[in-house]
Amino acid sequence: MTIIADTLQRSLPVNVRDLGGIAIDGGAVPAGLAIRADDLSIITADYAQELVENGLTTIIDLRSREEVGFTGRGALAAQPVAYHHLPLMASLGASMADQGAFARPSDFGLDYAAMLERAAPALVTALSIIAVAPGTVIFHCTAGKDRTGVLAASLLLCLGATDADIVADYGRSGPNIDAIHERTRPVMSVLMAQIGIDLDAAARAAADDKPFDEYAMAQMLDVLRKRHGDPLVPLRAAGLSDALIAALREKTQVV
């Protein structure tokens, strides 16, 4: 049973977008293959129904166990969709301790590279789900920017997208930052307080650093290339095979 499932204010996501149209080897990602989003556990029942009516069959939830334990699956739990919980961090507390409360925006790229390396098994599992799922797959975390951005980049790398297009996709979260903070505050302020972090103080500290910049994703790709030669090497070590990449690419072929 979740802590506030019956009292949490439901809302529409503010950082959701279809990856359709992004250029890849041999064409472009087809619309409806994969959608990235912010927290789907606090959406309205009407929006959940709309997603399913528009082809949603599968959800990949990248949030930590604390986040899922706090809000549950929300309105989508009542819908006929497959649900996969694949946290990209062991816990909020451990992640905050590693980063020193909140990571500074100028360090995000380094954190993303470390996340891709550390959570490679979960990312490969997510890619395997996308490769075989019928209909539309939606993957999300809380903000739809960081953990979601790492999975989006992993998928686009497998499909042969350029760094520029991967960075541009990440950058589309920029105009949504204020709305993301406002939407996630009711959940994150409580969760942060439980592990001894003042959300407002952390946000002010981050604001003193440089604001959102799509450079973070470029930095992640650059760091991974310097460390491994190919940014997919950590995923390959965790089980990403040529066959899985071929299956993902086959799904992009529109007949």
Within a domain: 151: yes
Within a domain: 105: yes
What is the DSSP pairing of strand 34-37 with strand 136-140?
Answer: parallel
Among 35, 60, 127, 141, the active-site one is 141
Q: What is the pLDDT of residue 103?
A: 58
Within a domain: 10: no
Within a domain: 194: yes
The total of structural domains in the chain comes to 1
Tell whether the model's pLDDT for residue 249 goes beyond 70.
Answer: yes
158 is catalytic: no
Query: Over the stretch 92-148, which tens digit does the pLDDT of each residue have?
Result: 655 554 544 445 667 899 999 999 999 999 999 999 999 999 999 999 999 999 999
Within a domain: 5: no
Mean per-residue pLDDT for 3-24? 84
Report residue 255's pLDDT band, with 50, 70 and 90 as the boundaries: very low
The domain of 32 spans 17-250
DSSP class per residue in 151-218: HHHHHHHHHT--HHHHHHHHHTTGGGHHHHHHHHHHHHHHHHHHTT--HHHHHHHHHHS----THHHH
With a threshold of 0.85, does the pTM exceed it? yes
Within a domain: 12: no
Within a domain: 208: yes
Tell whether the model's pLDDT for residue 6 goes beyond 70.
Answer: no
Query: Over the stretch 166-220, which tens digit does the pLDDT of each residue have?
Result: 999 999 999 999 999 899 988 887 877 776 655 555 555 554 455 678 999 999 9
CATH code of 233's domain:
3.90.190.10
Within a domain: 7: no
